[in-house]
Structure 1
Amino acid sequence: MRRIGHFLSDAWRLAGPYWRSEERWRARLLLGVVVLLNLSLVGMSVLLSYWNREFFNSLQEKDAEAFWSLLFWWRSTDSGPMPGFVFVAALYILIAVYALYLRQALQIRWRSWLTREVLDRWLADRAYYRVALSDPGTDNPDQRIAEDLRMFVDNTLALGLGLMRSVVTLFSFVIVLWGLSGPLTVLGLDIPGYMVWVALLYALAGTGLAHLIGRSLIRLNFAQQRVEADFRFALVRLRENVEGIALYGGEADEKRGLVERFGALIGNWWAIMVATKRLTFFTAAYSQAAIIFPFIVAAPAFFAGRIPLGGLTQTSGAFSEVQGALSWFVDNYAALTEWRATVLRVTGFLDAIAAARAAVAAGSGIQARPDGGDALVLEGLEVALPDGRVLLREAAARIGAGDSVVIAGASGSGKSTLFRALAGIWPFGHGTVHGPSAGASLFLPQRPYLPLGSLRRALCYPRDAAEFPEAAVQAALADAGLGHLAPRLDTEEAWDRQLSGGEQQRVALARALLLKPAWLFLDEATASLDPEAEARFYTLLKERLPGTALISIAHRPAVAQYHDRALRVQDGRLAEAAA
C-alpha cells in the first residue's frame, strides 16, 4: 500500500502543476465539460436499460404499436414517458462524439503545457548538459519528452475519466439492480439485492486474480520503453554518422550493434507477450463468463414467472454494468502497468534535472561568474573529469579585453575541458572563472553546431536571423569562402550532413565575423582548414574584429604566430609560454 501511495504521489506531482498553472481556469472548464458529457453517457445508459426492458416486453406481448412507438416516437410506460430509440441513439452519438473530441482537445493542451514546462527545466541552468555528463541512468531524454509525456497525459485522462465513469455507473446501476434482483433465501436467511453481492464477489475475485497473473507487466513495460528508445537512438546515431561509418567500412559492426539492441527489444517483447498471454487467457475467460453469468443467476426468477423477458434483459444489462464497473481494474490492468512505467520514467527524468539544477544553485563545482569586467580571470581553478580524475590543478591566469592568447598542450592534457570550463558549462572541479557579461562571448568548438533549418539560421545562431541585414550576412559568407552558397541561404537542409568538415568550420567562422563578439574562444576551430585558409581567417579576424579578445586552443604550432601570448597546459599546470 505504501508503494501505491508513493506512486500516486509521483503521478500527482506530474499532473498537479497544470491544474494550478496559468491555464488552470480554461483547463478546469474543459475538464468539467468532459466530465459532464461522460456523466450524461452514464445517464443515457440507465435510460437505455429501461427502454430495453419496455422494448423486449413489447416483443414478448406481441404489441406492434408499442414496438414501433418505442423505435420511432415515444410511449407512456410503467417506467414513465419513454422516447423512441432514434432520438435516444442520436443524442447518445452526439454526446459520445463531443466527449471524445473535447477530451482530445484537453489532451493536446495539457501535453503542450507539460512539454514546454519540462523543456524549460531541462534547458535552464544547462541541466541538459550536466545530466548527460553525470547521470547516464537517465537514458534517452528525447524519448521521455516526446513519447513519455504524451503517454502520461493520454493515459491519465483516459484512465481517470474511465474510473470516474465506472464509479458513477456502479452507483447508478447498483440502484437499478438492487430493485430488480429481489431477495434470495439461503439456509433460511433472506439476502436482499442478492445480484449486487454476486456481482461484487465476481469482480473482487477477478481483480485479485488479474493482479497476481499480470503484475510482471509493470516491470516489463518499463523496460520496453527503455529498449525501444535505445534501439531508436542507435538508428539515429547511424544516420548522423553515415560518412564516418562508410569510410571505416563499419557496416558489419554497426549491424552487430543494432542487432544486439534489437535483440534486447525483442527479448523483452517476448516476455511481455508471454505475460500478456497469461493475462488475456484470464481476462477473456472472465469477460465471456460475464456475458452469460447474469442470465444464469436471474434464470430461476424468469422461469418461475416472477419477471418478464424485458425484466430479464434489464437485469442482465444492469448486472453487466455493475460487474463491468467493479471490473475496471481487471479491464485496464495492462494500461495501468504502462501508465505506471511512464510515470516512473518521467519522474526519474525530472528528478535528474532537479538534481542537476540544485547542484548549480548550491554552487558546487567550478563557479562561472560573468562579472562583466574587462578581463577573464582564473582563480584557483581545478578541472576534473566526471570520474574524479584531475586534469588541471590550481590554474591562475588573467586575460585582458582585446588580448590575443593561444593555449597549447599535448593531446589529452585537458585543453578542451578547460575550454568548457571557460565557457561556464563544465561542472567538475572547483575554483572560479570571472568573465565577461553573458552575451559578450562566442565559443567555437572543433565540431561546429549547425541547427536545423536554413543556412541563414546557422550563420546567425544563436541570434535571430532577422537582426542582421542581408548585406552583412552575404559579406560574412563570402569572407569565409562560402560565397557559392549565397543562393541557398534560405534553403532548409540538414547542413551538418550537406557540408564537409572544413565547410562547417567556415560557417562557424562566418558566424564569428557576423556576430562580432567582444570575446572569441576557439577550440581547434580551424583544424579542418588548410594552412593558407587558416592564415587568411586569423588575418580577417584581426582586421574585422580589432577590439575582440581572441583565445585559441590549438595543436598546430603555426597558430601561435597569430597571438600575442601563449599559455601551456602541461603536467596538470597552466603556465605562461613563449608565443
Structure 2
Amino acid sequence: MPTQAVQAQPITNAFSSFTQFWEDVKAIAGPYWYPTKPGDRTFPDVLRAWGMLILLILLIIGLVGVTAFNSFVGRYLVDSLIQDRDYDKFLNTLAVNIVGLVLVTLLVGFSKFVRKKIALDWYKWLNNHILDKYLSNRAYYKINFKADLDNPDQRLSQEIEPVTNSALSFSATFLEKVLEMTTFLIIVWSISQQIAVVLLAYTIIGNFIAVYLNQTLSKINQEELEFKAEYNYSLTHVRNHAESIAFFQGEKQELNIIGRRFSNLINNTERKISWERGTEIFSRGYQSVIQIFPFLVLAPLYIRDEIDFGQLGQAALACNMFAVALGQLINEFGTSGRFSSYVDRLAEFSNSLEEVTKQPENVSTIKTIEENHLAFEHVTLQTPNYEQVIVENLSLSVESGESLLIVGPSGRGKSSLLRAIAGLWNAGTGRLVRPPLEQVLFLPQRPYIILGTLREQLLYPHTNRPMSDRELKEVLQQVNLQNLLSRVDGFDTEVPWENILSLGEQQRLAFARLLITHPSFTILDEATSALDLDNEESLYQKLRETKTTFISVGHRESLFNYHQWVLELSQDSSWQLVTVEDYRRQKATEIATNPPENTEIIIDVLPNNQSQNPPELGTITGTIAGLSHKEMQELTDYSLASIRSRASLGKSTTGKDGFTYRYNKDSKVLKWVKI
C-alpha cells in the first residue's frame, strides 16, 4: 500500500498541476475571448477577435490541405517522368506543383501574419486590462505589503507579451501539426496499413516521453523567470539608490549581492542547457527512426513490383513530413513549459491585484465621509495587519483656514494619520470626515518627481492646465528656484530630474506645485526637512497666504511658528490637542520643573529700570545634552574651524533646528548648549 501511494502521487500532482494551469489560462484568456462582465469588451471587438481567429484556423486547414495535395502531385510528377516518360504530362504536373508551392508560401505567410496580429491585439488589451487593475483602487500601493509577490514591474513589462505570443504560437502550431500528422497518417494508411499502425503507436509513446521530459523543464523555466526578475531588480536597486551607495562606499557589497543573484541565474541556465540537450537528442533521434522505417518496410514491396516508385516516394515523403510535424510538436511542448511559467506568474499577479483591493471581511474599518472639512470622530487607527494600535479614540476637527502640526516620537504614527486621511490605511474604528481627495494636495518628505518636462513637473498632477512661461517663471521665483531654467533648455525639456535636483530643490519644486494648484487642503509630511530656516519660513508664509487649510508633520521647533494647533501623539497611543501657545508653555514648564541632565537653564535678566514680566515663550529653553564641535558643525552650515573660532570668542550660533547655541566654557561642561 505505501508503494502504491508513492507511485500515484506524481500522477495526482501532474493532474492537479494541469488543472490549475487550465484554470489560470481561462482566467487570463476568458475576459478577452469570452467576456462575462459588463464593460470588459465591446461586442464588435469580440466579434473582430473571433473573426480573425476563425480566419487563422481556415488558413491553417488550407495550408495542410495544399501540403497534402502537393504530396500527390509530387507522386504523379515522379510517375510521369520515370514510368510514363511523358514529357507533356510531366510539364503539366510540374505546373500544378508550382502552383501548389506558391499557395503554400502564401498560406504560410498570411497565417503567420494573422497569428501575430491576433497576438498583438490580445497583448494590447491584456496589458491595458492588467494595468487598469494595477492602478485602480491603489492596488499598486497595497500590493507592496504582499511579501510573497516579487517584482510586479517585471511582470508588467516583460511577462504579458510572451503569454499572448506563446499562446497563439502554440495553439496554431499544435493545430497545424496535428492536422498534418493526421493527414499524412491517412496517406501512409492508403499505401501501407502496417506502417500507419506502427507510426501511430510510435507517436503515442514518444509524446508520453516528451511530456515527462518537459515537466522538469517547465520547473526550470519557472525558476529562470524568478532569477531573472531578482537579478534585474538588483541592478535597478543600485540605480535608484546610487547616491546612498556612493556615500557608504558600498560598491563591493552591492557587487556581492548582484553576483549572488547572477550566479543563481547562471546555475539555472546550465541546468536548462543540460535538459534541452537531452530533449533535442530525443527529438532528433525520434524523427530519424520515422524517416528510416518506411524504407525498411516498403523497399521489399517495390522490389517485388507490388507498389510503384511514386508510391514509395510519397510514403517516404509522408513519413518524413509526419516526423517533422511530430518533432515540431514536441518542441512546442518544450516551449509550452515557458508559456505555463508566464501564465502562472501572470495569473498570480492578477489574482493578487484583485485580492488586495477587496474589502476584508469580518474586520472593522474606519468609515470615511466626504465633506468640506477634516475631522476624526472617535477614530482608533491600526496598522493594515491589525497588529498594532497607532492612535486610540482620536477626536478632533480642523476647520477651513486652520493649521495643525502633528508631533510625537518617531514611529508613533504621525505619517500613518496622513495615510488614513489619504485613504491608504483604514484599519480600525470610528469615522473620518475629509474633503474629496481631488481638493487635497500631499507633500511628502521626498517629493514625487515624474518622468517628464519641467512644465509637467510643475503642473503635476494636472499637467493639462494652461499656464504661460511667464506665470511659471513667477512661481519658480517665489520658491527660490529662479536659477533652475539656466540649467535646462526651457520648460519643455525632459531630463532625469531626480539626478539633477537636490532634495531641497525637489521640496521647493513641490511647493511650486502647491502654489499653482491652490488646493483647499494641504498635507505636509516633513516637507521642509531639507531646507534652511529662511527658505522654510518663506514657503510657509506663501502657504498661509493661499488661505489653504494645512496639516504638517515634523520635528523642527521652527514649525510651531506657522501653525495654530498641535496634535501630540504619545508612545501609549494616547494623544493631546492644544494650541501652539499652550504646547510651548507646557514644554517650557516641564523643562523648568525637571531639567534634564547636563542642561543649562538660562532666564533673561532685564535691566533694573524695566519691570520683571513673566518670560516670553521660548525664554526658558534647554537641551537634553550639550553638543560637541563636530555635532554643532552638522547642525549648522559652518566649517569645523569656524565653529571652534566662535566657541573661543563666545559667539552664539543658530542651528538648523531654529535654536540658538552658545559654547559653555565651564571645565565641567565644555559643550554647546541652547540659550
Shift of 1:86: 3.0
Cα distance in structure 2, aligned partners of 1:237 and 1:429: 34
Amino acid at match of 1:128: Y
1:449 aligns with 2:448: yes
Correspondence 1:154-165 to 2 at 5 A = 154-165=165-176
Q: 1:147 aligns to what?
A: 158
Q: 1:249 aligns to what?
A: 249
The change in CA–CA distance for 1:367 and 1:196 in structure 2 (over 3 A counts) is farther
Contact kept? 1:384, 1:391, Cα under 8 Å: yes
Matched pairs, number: 554
Correspondence 1:160-175 to 2 at 5 A = 160-175=171-186
The change in CA–CA distance for 1:307 and 1:428 in structure 2 (over 3 A counts) is farther
Contact kept? 2:185, 2:322, Cα under 8 Å: yes
Shift of 1:130: 1.0
Contact kept? 2:405, 2:553, Cα under 8 Å: yes
State the structure with bigger RCO (CA 8 A, min sep 6), 1 or 2: 1
Percent sequence identity over matched residues? 28
Cα distance in structure 2, aligned partners of 1:237 and 1:333: 36
> CA offsets, 1:353-412, max 9 Å, x none?
11111136x595643625123333343222326482333333332212221011011222
Question: TM-score normalised to the size of structure 2?
Answer: 0.78
> CA offsets, 1:504-532, max 9 Å, x none?
11111111111111010000011111111
Cα distance in structure 2, aligned partners of 1:473 and 1:365: 46
The change in CA–CA distance for 1:364 and 1:40 in structure 2 (over 3 A counts) is farther
1:314 aligns with 2:326: no
Amino acid at match of 1:340: S
Q: 1:15 aligns to what?
A: 29
Cα distance in structure 2, aligned partners of 1:67 and 1:222: 57
Q: 1:79 aligns to what?
A: none
Contact kept? 1:202, 1:323, Cα under 8 Å: no
Cα distance in structure 2, aligned partners of 1:329 and 1:129: 43
> CA offsets, 1:530-573, max 9 Å, x none?
11100000011112x11x11100011011111001011111122
Q: 2:52 aligns to what?
A: 30
Shift of 1:445: 0.8
The change in CA–CA distance for 1:338 and 1:49 in structure 2 (over 3 A counts) is same
1:43 aligned residue (65, 68, 87):
65
Amino acid at match of 1:158: S
Contact kept? 1:383, 1:421, Cα under 8 Å: no
Q: Secondary structure at the match of 1:165?
A: helix
Amino acid at match of 2:260: E
Amino acid at match of 1:573: S
Correspondence 1:122-521 to 2 at 5 A = 122-133=134-145, 135-181=146-192, 193-325=193-325, 329-359=329-359, 366-367=365-366, 369-384=368-383, 386=385, 388-486=387-485, 487-521=489-523
Amino acid at match of 1:435: R
Q: Secondary structure at the match of 1:397?
A: strand
Q: Secondary structure at the match of 2:576?
A: strand
**Which one is further off, 29-38 or 366-375?**
366-375
The change in CA–CA distance for 1:432 and 1:277 in structure 2 (over 3 A counts) is farther
Shift of 1:324: 5.0
Q: Alignment RMSD, CA only?
A: 2.2
Shift of 1:223: 1.2
Amino acid at match of 2:341: A
Q: Secondary structure at the match of 1:89?
A: helix
Contact kept? 2:77, 2:90, Cα under 8 Å: no
Contact kept? 1:523, 1:552, Cα under 8 Å: yes
The change in CA–CA distance for 1:151 and 1:525 in structure 2 (over 3 A counts) is same
The change in CA–CA distance for 1:531 and 1:363 in structure 2 (over 3 A counts) is farther
Cα distance in structure 2, aligned partners of 1:386 and 1:455: 39
Shift of 1:471: 4.0
Larger Rg: 2
Question: TM-score normalised to the size of structure 1?
Answer: 0.90
Q: 1:186 aligns to what?
A: none
Q: Secondary structure at the match of 1:377?
A: strand
> CA offsets, 1:160-188, max 9 Å, x none?
1112212322333333222121xxxxxxx
Contact kept? 2:287, 2:323, Cα under 8 Å: no
The change in CA–CA distance for 1:249 and 1:2 in structure 2 (over 3 A counts) is closer
1:119 aligns with 2:121: no
Cα distance in structure 2, aligned partners of 1:406 and 1:419: 12
The change in CA–CA distance for 1:494 and 1:431 in structure 2 (over 3 A counts) is farther
> CA offsets, 1:121-164, max 9 Å, x none?
1111111111111x121111111122211111011101111122
Q: 1:105 aligns to what?
A: 117
Q: Secondary structure at the match of 1:169?
A: helix
Cα distance in structure 2, aligned partners of 1:451 and 1:483: 20
The change in CA–CA distance for 1:320 and 1:429 in structure 2 (over 3 A counts) is farther
The change in CA–CA distance for 1:387 and 1:342 in structure 2 (over 3 A counts) is farther
| Structure 2 unaligned blocks of 5 or more | 1-14, 35-40, 581-675
Shift of 1:329: 4.9
Amino acid at match of 1:55: L
1:65 aligns with 2:66: no
Shift of 1:83: 4.0
Q: Secondary structure at the match of 2:483?
A: helix
Cα distance in structure 2, aligned partners of 1:246 and 1:513: 35
Contact kept? 2:81, 2:87, Cα under 8 Å: no
Shift of 1:325: 4.9
The change in CA–CA distance for 1:203 and 1:230 in structure 2 (over 3 A counts) is same
